[in-house]
Amino acid sequence: MVYLLPLLTVFIWGGNAIVNKMASEAIEPSAMSFYRWFLAILVLTPFCLNTVIKEWQVIRPYLAKIAFLALLGMVLNQSLGYYAGLTTSASNMALITSLVPLLSVFMSVPLLGKRISPLSIVGGVIALAGLAFMLGQGDMAFFVHNSIAFGDGMMVIAATCYAAYCVLLKRWKMPLSNWTLVYMQGVLALIMLTPLWLSSDQLLPSNEALPLIGYAGLAASVLAPWMWVKAIDLIGADSSAMFMNLMPVVAITLAATMLGETIHGYHLMGGLLVISGVILSQLKVSRFKRTQHMEKVKQI
């Protein structure tokens, strides 16, 4: 039953791609970004504020790093995702987002001092080829003569920002609980998003936007992270990470059934290549860890 935790988390985050697309027609991206974290912080404050006040002297030296993490993961990544929903499909958004684990592997080289094996490089080439095949609608040479679509380009930047967020989160290990860290990032993100929200033409959300804000603010920003942390505690980070490869499958299925998006052959082929490449990079990490463990055993 514990495997339901990462599985349900993936379903929630996969559904968030659909919410991003639906929100593009119901609320301005600037307002959606703000209200998502406004609701999340409103719910988390009764549980987290007292801890933040007690541990303020511990938190204070890390404020600059927490603010930068909030900028990458909660402001740029999510805001770009909402803006991308204006000009690209939920299927494309999900497949581009699935590159995050692969991008994290390559960013770990300069930021964490990790090594990349030939297998990881092969996985990266396969995943990028799949992405080019999908975005070029089956034409691998499409980008030689044409530029990438605006929404797809924004999603590539968003995925890069989130990959950097994940790697820096590992690099900057802070003596704070997960919820304190999430709460502080959310508060700082809300401050950064306020000027963007004030620039909106309509400051108050419409009735149509309320359930979308509820899903993004509660399910995707509070419930899913809680289940993900519990899953990591129970089955480990490596086992949990493998479930993330199901997210584009969930999102594309929901896009076809709920939004009526047409799934073409190039979506399936490109998506298969992307997921295969990402899995290769994750298998490399697992194998490298097992090899290190065996070497230590032999030494003992």
One-character DSSP codes across 74-95: IIIHHHHHHHHTTTS-HHHHHH
Q: Is residue 127 part of a domain?
A: no
| 139 backbone dihedrals φ, ψ, rounded to 5° | -110, 105
Tell whether the model's pLDDT for residue 288 goes beyond 60: no
| 259 backbone dihedrals φ, ψ, rounded to 5° | -105, -10
Categorize the per-residue pLDDT at 254 as very low, low, confident or very high, splitting at 50, 70 and 90: confident
Q: Is residue 125 part of a domain?
A: no
Q: Is residue 123 part of a domain?
A: no
Parent domain of 62: 3-116+148-262
Q: Is residue 282 part of a domain?
A: no
Q: How far apart are the first and last CA of the chain?
A: 36
| 173 backbone dihedrals φ, ψ, rounded to 5° | -70, 120
CA distance 80 to 237: 27
Q: For residue range 130-180, list pLDDT tens digits in order.
A: 888 877 777 766 666 667 788 989 999 999 998 899 889 888 889 998 899
Categorize the per-residue pLDDT at 296 as very low, low, confident or very high, splitting at 50, 70 and 90: very low
Structural contact between residues 284 and 123, judged by C-beta atoms closer than 8 angstroms: yes
CA distance 193 to 13: 21
pLDDT at position 170, please? 84
Minimal CA–CA distance to 36: which of 163, 219, 173, 182?
219
Tell whether the model's pLDDT for residue 299 goes beyond 50: no
Cα-only R_g, the chain: 20
Q: Is residue 233 part of a domain?
A: yes
Q: Is residue 290 part of a domain?
A: no
Number of domains in the chain: 1
Q: Is residue 168 part of a domain?
A: yes
Residue 88 class from Cβ within 10 Å (0-12 exposed, 13-18 middle, 19+ buried)? buried
Q: Is residue 208 part of a domain?
A: yes
CA distance 90 to 114: 33
Tell whether the model's pLDDT for residue 36 goes beyond 90: yes
